[in-house]
Amino acid sequence: MGGVKRAIIKMATFTGSMAPVLVLWLAMSLSGTWAVDKGNFKTCDQSAFCKRQRALKPGDSPYRALLETMELTNTRLTLQLINDNNKVRLLLELYRLQGNITRVKINELKPLKPRFEVPDVLIREPSTEPLSLLSQDENGVVLSLGAESQRVIISARPFRLDIMEGPEVLMSLNSRGLLAFEHLRMRKDTQAEPEGEKKEDADPANQTEKDEEDKVDGMWEETFKSHSDSKPNGPSAISLDFSLPGVEHVYGIPEHADTLRLKTTDNGDPYRLYNLDVFQYELYNPMALYGAVPVMLAHKAQRTTGIFWLNAAETWVDISSNTAGKTVFGKMLDYVQGSSETPQTDVRWISESGIIDVFIMLGPTPKDVFSQYASLTGTQSFPPLAAVGYHQCRWNYNDQEDVASVDAGFDEHDIPYDYIWLDIEHTDGKRYFTWDPHKFASPKEMLQALEDKKRKMVAIVDPHIKVDSNYKIHNEIRNKGFYVKNKDGGDYEGWCWPGSAGYPDFTRADMRDWWASMFAYDQYEGTMENLYTWNDMNEPSVFNGPEVTMHKDAVHGAWEHRDLHNLYGLYVQMATAEGQIQRSGGVERPFVLTRAIFAGSQRYGAVWTGDNAAEWDHLKVSIPMCLSLGLVGISFCGADVGGFFKAPSTELLVRWYQTGAYQPFFRAHAHLDTPRREPWLFGPENTALIRDAVRQRYTLLPYWYQQFYHAYRTGEPIMRPLWVEYPQDPATFALDDEFLIGKDLLVHPVTEEGARGVTAYLPGKDQVWFDVHTFQKHNGAQSLYIPVTMSSIPVFQRGGSVIPRKMRVRRSSSCMMHDPYTLYVALNLQRTAEGELYMDDGHTFNYEKKEFIYRKLSFAKNMLSSVNLAPDAQFSTVSWIERIVILGASKPSKVTLKTADGQESQLEFDFDASMSVLTLRKPGMNAGLDWTVMLQ
């Protein structure tokens, strides 16, 4: 939630002595304007290290590899690099990791003090595989990466690293000579160590360096607007370039409000990765937003690769397109680079501090890259089934009566929902873990009333803590010394919703443990099993801080905030999810929504795209924003349905519900100052359209839940770009107005105002697609014009798939738990199809103990059968199969069901000859058992 006009009045009333300058600042930055104030956020030119690094132009690198220092063990290669300009030495470490990943680390050989290395993001120390030396001469070394004639070539002068497969260069590092590593040093104007200074001055290289430092601003201190950054460690930036021959399409590095395919940045700023609370963000630019996942995917028809730059400091990513062959291969060996006309994408990463630690994921398929990245940072957490349903939120439901009346409104209008949400006004004066004593006087009663209808609630818990000596949470954090410190060693304080606030140091494991313990039912008073949590403002947002965030010279133990800024939000969500797990004794799955994210955030819950606006372009951009997150492992993504700021037209609201119903996280949310917009407030026609969209979501819950299980098992995205399934079809490479859910549903939402039709690209030249509403069959590899009305949501089922649905929609997902299934079998041109059926108890971790049903459904040779995919798993269900609909069928003379016990029976059927649809009515077998249906 960004800042607002009303915040001024609100904050002034409960902080009393608020500094007049702050009131003025809030008034200027929060009032009236409904667009981002770009002046609040740095450009590359205003970020000293970015400006310095970007001033380096491609050319010969000053670094060379000292081959005589090379050491090769079974698990790694180490080698020193020297910068010939200043004689500073670096240590290169190279690892071949399991699963076709190469890891490259570069650090100072002897840093003045340790440099930050990101903890807690990798799920384990990655397993290595042996590297072997193929050849070596004075120009470099060639190492085997084992499989597929893959090799690494390290050229010595200048230093360069190439990864090859056969004659093909897959990726080159430092081929443009942009490796830079600002070594830690003593400040030249300090008198502290005269001896050291004498020694240094004797070295002419240091004299040059001193002269350079005198010329460059921002190395030892930097100001932005009224904020100064003391930079006690001086310059510490790092940079490295990567060249990708043959590649024209790169993706990822969320979070940006931009197209799916990343643009070149030659004529503007690089893409920025720095978690920020951006009020009213602008679309289609590379500005930083709430999340930063430093992972990029590169795709061409023959191969997909990935780069994971493990660094949590402020990072900028430059992308340019080039022609391969312009970057000469170096003096070593006679490898052929190929024609100079090959397109090439060059990428350059620049970070403010830390070390270079990069994982090069070599594919070769998109799914290989997903599994490589998952092996490093883990997969999407498996949410409770209810969290996959619909969520109703606004800032704010006023009180318990308001909650009860909204809840009743859903029943009255026959619209299902699972969670109702409370924003910051539910607390006692913005003290999290509390309830407003007047508006929410008996929270347990409210929660019990929801529980009686099998519904749940989410309440917000933000990581800024009101400085108030009568507030238990603040006192405990202060007494335990758990707050982030300022540069002078006191508790860091900033302004946020409660007024003056402290920020718990979530980088500390003991602080996270304490935070988790606060979710216990006896600590967080008024809570029950059906209350879950929303972590907002966890970038962290500091209203009066530089760029609305924490000062970079704030201190977390041994490290500055600058080293780990992008990790803060991940740690908040990690500690909150852990608290929810612990409060149930480890039994129940958590549900936590976060705004700030980093690599690995997928392990802890869901994310949304932040404070969007009720505008058509914001609806459109929700698609590439969630697709980009899915590509880097974060599948549980959605956007505020209807837009957070402003009031949507009824047409926009309906279209947003229709789009959101087909995105993984489905939540309506709205700003305090907007008119109420519960689904029934726009007349019966629009209520019916919204009801239909939400009900479509609920009928598809079995398929959605299966996709979440699959994402948890494999790391593959749920909502995915078409190129993931059709990697050799260039027509799919830049599409971002349509998407797949899993591999079997293709969705092209209507995102244009007043649209009479949309053109959807249906991929696959030997593929057929069925309109899920009309069962009309269409051939693949074509652009199809689809006329639309206000009720249309263009969705297609892939021929060759089986999709389970539950057609009896009830008021929440839990109420549908034991309901029967309808199977939609869409035949391909070979008249076969396959799908899956997954179910478990929907809310506990018992699936980890093999308590689930996981079945394969396949149609071939006129037989549809259900076979157990997990014979060692134990779970039973009362759900049965109530209908089977076969699309693209021919008329049988009879249909026979054979069940597990050998019993055979005839089934009734209808055949629609005009659409080739065969419907089998009430086959009646248990969904968890073996059975076969034969068409004769």
Supply the residues annotated as catalytic.
536, 611
* CA–CA dist 787, 755 (Å, integer): 9
Per the listing, tokens 């497969």 go with 165
Helical segments of 584-642, H only: 616-631
Cβ–Cβ < 8 Å for 599, 569: no
* CA–CA dist 804, 825 (Å, integer): 9
Per the listing, tokens 């530089």 go with 546
Tell me the Cα Rg of the chain. Answer: 29
Q: How far is CA 864 from the centre of its chain?
A: 37
Q: How far is CA 325 from CA 75, 154, 249, 336, 346, in A?
A: 33, 18, 18, 10, 12
* CA–CA dist 775, 583 (Å, integer): 47
762 contact partners, CB below 8 Å, separation of at least 6: 746, 769, 778, 779, 780, 781, 782, 783, 784, 796
Question: Largest Cα–Cα distance in the chain?
Answer: 99
Which pairing describes strands 493-496 and 499-502: parallel, antiparallel, or unpaired? antiparallel
* CA–CA dist 928, 876 (Å, integer): 6
DSSP letter at 56 equals -
Per the listing, tokens 């609920």 go with 698
Cβ–Cβ < 8 Å for 452, 698: no
**Buried b / exposed e across 120-158, counting CB within 10 Å, b at 16+?**
bbbeeeeebbebeeeeeeebbbbbbbeeeebbbbbbbbb
- In 3-state terms the chain splits into helix, strand, coil percentages (rounded to 5) of 25, 30, 45
Cβ–Cβ < 8 Å for 86, 206: yes
Which pairing describes strands 132-137 and 140-144: parallel, antiparallel, or unpaired? antiparallel
Return the structure tokens found at 732. 């799919």
Per the listing, tokens 């491609």 go with 58
Shortest CA distance to 105 belongs to which of 161, 164, 177? 161
Shortest CA distance to 261 belongs to which of 247, 278, 275? 247
Say how many Å lie between the first and final Cα of the chain, rounded: 60
Cβ–Cβ < 8 Å for 591, 387: yes
Question: Which amino acid belongs to residue 856?
Answer: K
* CA–CA dist 607, 626 (Å, integer): 9
* CA–CA dist 104, 89 (Å, integer): 16
Cβ–Cβ < 8 Å for 223, 551: no
* CA–CA dist 887, 600 (Å, integer): 40
* CA–CA dist 422, 450 (Å, integer): 13
- Tell me the sheet residues that pair with 760: 784
**Buried b / exposed e across 261-294, counting CB within 10 Å, b at 16+?**
bbbebeeebbbbbbbbbbbbbebebbbbbbbbbb
Q: How many of the other CB atoms lie within 10 Å of CB of 76? A: 16
Q: How far is CA 934 from the centre of its chain?
A: 44
